[in-house]
Amino acid sequence: MTDSLPIGKLATRWLQQDRDPDTRREIEALIAADDGTELERRLRKRIAFGTAGLRSSMKAGYAHMNSLTVLQASQGLADYILAQRQLQGTSGRPTVVIGYDARHNSQKFARLAAGAFLAKGFGVLWFGILVHTPMVPFAVSHFGAAAGVMVTASHNPPADNGYKVYWGNGCQIIPPHDKGIALAIANVENIIEWSETLVEQSSLVQRVYVKTHTAYFDALGKLVSKSRKDASRTRNTADAPFTYTPLHGVGLSFMRRALHELSFDAKLMYVVEAQALPDPDFPTVTFPNPEEKGALDFACQEAERNGSKIVISNDPDADRFAAAERLEDGRWHQFTGNQMGILLASYVRETSEVSEWLSMVLASTVSSRMLKAMGRRGAFKYRETLTGFKWLGNIAQQTARESWVPIFAFEEAIGYMFPSVVWDKDGIAAAIVFLAARRLWLAEGTTPYQKLQQLYQEWGYFEDANTYLISPSPEVTQATFAAIRTSRHGAIPTHVDKRRITRWRDLTLGYDTATADGRPDLPTDPDSQMITCELEDGVVFTARGSGTEPKIKLYIEATAESSAKAKRLANEVLRDLLQEWFEGLKLAGT
Q: Diameter of the chain by CA atoms?
A: 74
Q: Can you give the C-alpha Rg of the chain in angstroms? A: 24
Closest CA relative to residue 465, chosen from 386, 550, 542, 552: 542
Per residue in 45-77, is it b (16+ CB within 10 Å) or e — as a string? ebbebebbbbbbbbbbbbbbbbbbbbbbbbbbb
Cβ contact 361:381 at 8 Å: yes
Residues 6+ positions from 53 with CB-CB distance below 8 Å:
73, 149, 162, 163, 164, 165, 173
Given a contact cutoff of 8 angstroms between Cβ atoms, the answer to whether 80 and 63 are in contact is: no
Measured CA to CA, the distance from residue 10 to residue 15 in angstroms comes to 9
- Note if 154 is an active site residue: yes
8 Å CB contact between 531 and 503: no
Determine which one of 154, 308, 346, 367 is catalytic.
154
The DSSP output letter for 266 is G
Are 556 and 574 a contacting pair, CB within 8 Å? yes
- Dist. CA 24–CA 61, nearest whole Å: 9
Task: Check whether the bond before 176 is cis (ω within 30° of 0).
Answer: yes
Distance CA(521)–CA(511), nearest Å, equals: 9
Amino acid at 568: R
What is the C-alpha separation between 50 and 475, in angstroms, rounded? 18
Across-strand partners of 141? none
User: Which residues lie across from 124 on neighbouring strands?
Assistant: 96, 205
Distance CA 104, CA 95 (A): 26
Angstrom distance (rounded) from CA 114 to CA 97: 9
Question: Are 82 and 210 spatial neighbours (Cβ–Cβ below 8 Å)?
Answer: no
Q: 321-326 and 310-314 as β-strands: parallel, antiparallel, unpaired?
A: antiparallel
Task: Sheet with 269-271: list strands edge to edge.
Answer: 269-271, 242-245, 310-314, 321-326, 332-334
Contact (Cβ atoms closer than 8 angstroms) between residue 473 and residue 568: no
User: How many C-beta atoms surround the C-beta of residue 234 within 10 A?
Assistant: 14
Catalytic residue numbers read 154
